[in-house]
Each structure stands twice: as C-alpha cells, then as structure tokens.
Structure 1
Amino acid sequence: MAGEGSFRHRYVVVEGVIGVGKTTLVHQLARALGGRTVLEEFEENPFLPDFYRDRRAYALSTQLFFLMSRFRQQEVLAQGDLFMRRTVSDYLFDKDRIFAQLTLESHELAIYEQLFEVLRPQVATPDLVIFLRADHDTVMRRIAARGRSYELDMDPAYIAELADAYVDYFATYDGAPLLTIDTTRVDFRGRSHALDEVLRAVTTGQVPRVLDAELRSAGQQPSLPGL
C-alpha cells in the first residue's frame, strides 16, 4: 500500500464508456491505496430503462436526473472530507455533457447548459483522470456478460457513437492530468503489471499521457469478458 506521504493524487477519477472496466479499476485502486470509492448511481435513475428503449422520448428527463444526482453526490463530498481522504470515483462530473450533447435536441440542450453552468463551479476538480477505452466488440461482450437487465436493450450503434464521443472529449481535455489506457487486452481484476503501472502514476505524480504501449509490451493477457 502506498504511504500517506507518497500519495500525489488524492482525488482520482476513472472514466470511459459503459463496459470498459471503470468500476473494477476504481475498487482495485481504492483497495490498494486505502481510500474510499464514489460510484455513479445508475440504478437509481427511474428513467434509464425507458431511455434505452426510446432515447428520443426520455433523453431530457434522464439527463437532468443524472445531472442533479451527480451534483448532489458531489455536494456531499465537498461538505465532508474529500481532501482529507483518498477518493477514487468512477465518473467525472464534466462528462455529463458528453451524453447531453449526444442525446438532446438543441432546445433541450440550451436548458441543460444553463443548469450545468450554474452547478459546475461548485464541483471539485479531480487531481487525476484515468480514461479507459476498449474496442467495440470487447465493450459489447462485457456489457452482455454482466447481464444487467436495463443494459440489455442498449443499441450497439449508440454504444459505438458514445465511445467515439468519449474519445473526442478526452482528446482535448485539459481539466486535470490525464492518463489514457486501452483495456481491450488488460484485466484489472487481479494484481497485475497493469495495475502496478497505474498505481505508480497515481502515487508518484508522474503521469504519462498514454499507458497503452507499456502495458502491451509487458505481455498482458487478454481481459476476460466480464471486466
């Protein structure tokens, strides 16, 4: 476990499209660092199952619920000991815009943006963002393997479009130090070279822009479908 004095990034966020392995890595990092986890509360959004069946009809209600839910969670963190404890989260508040821009009509987006601009200044900025990506087939296998009922109606084309939107967003992201990892052939469920490399970046503050080449050269085996 990293010592208190060596911990350079106290608030770490892991991001990426659904099924890419965010929550797995969050739990591993929190366990190794002796920190706490802050997880996105998908199951509590009552509009989500309907959204996956009819995105157009339920886009605004789904998006506004997520925005306010994430903000309330961030408010609790800000009032507590966010900067006194190591915290690892599986979402970046700012990424909410990725979904909004992808799913909302222009008049809906205008309403959303007004609310987002009021809330955003009150949210803490992470010390490090880890962006996970994987190829489309791998993501779809992982989604199917975990068998969440509300995910089974997802349109594969929407997931592919969402993954591309994530890549575009993080290509220009400059809100915090950013580490990008291709998880197509990386399994974070056990202690591995991949996890050790991520922990090194988190604890030393020496963050390469991309970790893919280092992980591939270390001979990582293909990840299992349920990651």
Structure 2
Amino acid sequence: MKTPFITIEGPIGVGKTSLAKAIAKRYQFHCLQEIVEENPFLGKFYNNIDEWSFQTEMFFLCNRFKQLEDIHNNFLSHGKPVVADYNIFKNLIFANKTLNGNKHNKYLKIYNILTEDMPEPSFVIYLHASLDTLLKRISKRARTIENNIDPQYLNDISNDYEIFIDRWEKEHPLIPVIKIDGDSLDFVKNDEDLMLIFQQLQEHLTKGEKKQ
C-alpha cells in the first residue's frame, strides 16, 4: 500500500480539524491543516458573497495546492503518513456554489491544471451533521470571520456536500469513504465516540496493509 494519506471532509463547523488532530496524535501522522483565518478575503466574502467569491476561492485553491505539494515532497514521498483536515475537492463544492459564468469557467480551468498530479487520499473520512449542530459548533469556536455566516448558505453547502460525496464515491470506487454522523457521535467530548471512529479507521489501515 502507498503511504497512508487520510483526508477529512464535511461542511463548515463539523469538526474536521479536531478529528485530524486526534488521528495525528494517536497514529503519529503528520497533521495538515488548511489555512482559513489567514484568507484576507473571507470576512468580506461572508458579508458579500457575490463580490468576493472569486478572490476567496482562488486564495484557498492556491494555498491548498502549495500545502499538498509540500506534504508530497516532504512527507508522502518519504514514506511518512499524513492526515489532512480537508480534501482539495472541497474547492469544487464551494466554487460551484459561489461562482457563475466566466469566473466559474476560469476557476475550473485553473483547478484542473493545479490538481492533475496531486496526491490522492488512501481514503476519505466524511463528517456530516444537521444545521443546528453546525451552527452550535461554529458559535462555540467563536471565529470572528464566521460571525456573519448565513444559515441558509451553510445549509446549502451541507446539501451540496451530500450530493458531491455521492457522486465522488461513484467516480472513485477505489478510494473508500468513511461516513461519520456528527449528530450522533461527539468525538470531541466523548472518548467512546472517538474510539468508534478509530476502530473504523484501523480497519481501513489494516486492509491497506494486507494489499501490500
């Protein structure tokens, strides 16, 4: 099996970074965290999506491309496992939601060029939760730039994730997706819930080892 590369995905506030850190600690994997608050356009984006969507999405794309290039060169290619709190395919989910017409076409061209030789994950952990749960967790972490998130926008993104993940599974049958219900499992507060996720994770890691 190739060096384990786990990506965690799901809508805003679902707990991707918390789970990535927990996995990294347990398995001694390198933890790759996406750049969020450093995006200079994000606060403006939440205030005016139409005006600032292209700048916001391009910043995320370029930074994620650089991060993935670095972990490939410095970790994966040297046999060092990585867990990331995002998969770069999330760029398509958000771009499809926020960009239109010529800007969307330009974005897709750049996305396809940058991601054509990016490392693929061994498997994806997909976290999903209800809108109420997402709003509570976003409020709890109290990021200033998220103060103006429209609940309808968040709900739409959650629905878009569901549609995208279903399609992605069909298009990538060799990359398993572990689906975790964030409403029924609170792996941040409950160690037993976290252990259940570790058990599923271990099963996939063991399967990968047997394929060697």
Whether TM exceeds 0.5 here: the answer is yes
Q: CA deviation at 1:163?
A: 0.5
Partners of 2:141 and 2:29 in 1: how far apart?
25
Q: How many residue pairs are counted as aligned between the two chains?
A: 201
Aligned to 1:201: 200
Q: Does structure 1 residue 100 correspond to structure 2 residue 95?
A: yes
Q: Does structure 1 residue 125 correspond to structure 2 residue 120?
A: yes
Instruction: Say which of 71, 74, 83 aligns to 2:68.
Output: 74
The one-letter amino acid paired with 2:84 is S
Q: CA deviation at 1:199?
A: 1.8
Aligned to 1:164: 159
Secondary structure of 1:205's aligned partner = helix
Aligned to 1:188: 187
Q: Which digits, 9 at most, give the CA deviation of each residue in 1:6-43, with x for residues without a partner? A: x9971111110011111111111111111111001001
Partners of 1:46 and 1:167 in 2: how far apart?
28
Partners of 2:153 and 2:134 in 1: how far apart?
12
The one-letter amino acid paired with 1:166 is Y
Q: 1:121 to 1:8 in 2, by over 3 A?
A: closer
The one-letter amino acid paired with 2:181 is D
Gapped regions of structure 1 (runs ≥ 5):
1-6, 208-227
Aligned to 2:83: 88
RMSD of aligned C-alpha atoms?
Answer: 1.8
TM-score (norm 2): 0.89
Secondary structure of 2:31's aligned partner = strand
The percent of aligned pairs where both chains have the same amino acid is 30
Aligned to 1:135: 130
When you count helix as a share of all residues, which structure comes out higher?
2
Gapped regions of structure 2 (runs ≥ 5):
207-212
Partners of 2:160 and 2:48 in 1: how far apart?
20
Q: Contact conserved, 2:3 with 2:76, CA < 8 A, in 1?
A: no
Q: 1:47 to 1:132 in 2, by over 3 A?
A: same
